[in-house]
């Protein structure tokens, strides 16, 4: 399989929203709002368009990755700018074929070239540790409340950048979306059945778990 990775263009926008909807539908909640998040992120000042990529196989977009700015701050409020991706999407028929990993590897290389010291995400360790991510606790990076979420993961791009200090992770408000607006946006797409999946329970447990 020949996977081509290129920057997202404006002509890709709706196709990327459609594939994101397919990738996340019923995964974490009945239905999903990640396609609306994608739609809104592009308009936000923290959106990193230089790190928005699509994966193409035989002229068809089968996956994508998008980033926003994020930060870590120490006790004196000294900050380091980092990058955060999400959503990362792969069409269900193309999952578990290395497309997500290819998007992470490609975009992380470009992120380093743009001067970002690390990539920090919320995600399931099973999905991301194989790509080099480690627990935020290993880098003394807590959430804004000083806790260490099970799902808070770090890919260090510049080795040792977080050494000998304690940090708090600060996310962009690009991820704060209106549920009603998301539901209205979804009406633009073909109807899909909202259903319960066991993955929703796994997500509910993981998202409330903390280390230490």
Question: Mean pLDDT per segment of 10 residues, for the chain of length 212 residues?
Answer: 94 98 98 98 98 96 98 96 98 96 98 98 96 98 97 97 96 97 98 97 96 92
pLDDT for res 1:
74
Q: Looking at residue 85, what is its pLDDT? A: 98
Please give the pLDDT value at position 212: 86
Q: What sections of 25-118 are H helices per DSSP?
A: 34-41, 99-113
pTM above 0.85, yes or no: yes
CA angle 12, 52, 97 (to 5 degrees): 85
CATH code of the domain occupying 4-172+199-211: 3.40.630.30
Residue whose tokens read 């539908």 = 25
Predicted pLDDT at 26:
98
CB count in 10 Å sphere of residue 174: 20
Tell me the C-alpha to C-alpha distance, in Å, between residue 30 and each of 14, 94, 134, 186, 197: 22, 22, 29, 13, 8
For strands 60-73 and 141-142, give the pairing: unpaired
Long-range contacts from 54-60, C-beta under 8 angstroms, 24+ separation: 54/5, 54/6, 54/7, 54/8, 54/12, 54/16, 55/3, 55/4, 55/5, 55/90, 55/99, 55/102, 55/103, 56/3, 56/4, 56/5, 56/6, 57/1, 57/2, 57/3, 57/4, 57/94, 57/99, 58/2
Cα distance between residue 56 and residue 63, in whole Å: 7
The span from the CA of 161 to the CA of 58, in Å, is 40
Beta bridge partners of 65: 53, 88
């Amino acid at each position: 399989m020949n996977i081509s990775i290129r920057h997202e263009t404006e002509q890709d926008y709706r196709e990327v929203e459609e594939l994101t909807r397919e990738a996340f539908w019923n995964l974490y909640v009945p239905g999903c709002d990640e396609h609306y998040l994608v739609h809104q992120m592009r308009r936000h000042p923290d959106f990193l368009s230089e790190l928005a990529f699509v994966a193409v196989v035989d002229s068809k977009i089968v996956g994508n990755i998008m980033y926003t700015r994020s930060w870590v701050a120490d006790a004196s409020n000294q900050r380091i700018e980092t990058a955060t991706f999400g959503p990362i999407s792969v069409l269900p028929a193309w999952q578990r074929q290395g497309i997500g990993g290819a998007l992470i590897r490609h975009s992380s290389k470009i992120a380093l070239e743009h001067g970002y010291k690390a990539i920090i995400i919320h995600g399931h360790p099973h999905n991301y540790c194989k790509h080099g991510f480690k627990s935020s606790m290993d880098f003394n990076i807590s959430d804004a409340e000083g806790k260490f979420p099970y799902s808070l993961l770090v890919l260090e791009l510049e080795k040792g950048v977080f050494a000998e200090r304690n940090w708090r992770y600060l996310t962009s408000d690009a991820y704060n979306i209106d549920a009603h607006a998301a539901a209205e946006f979804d009406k633009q797409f073909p109807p899909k059945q909202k259903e319960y999946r066991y993955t929703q329970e796994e997500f509910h447990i993981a998202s409330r778990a903390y280390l230490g």
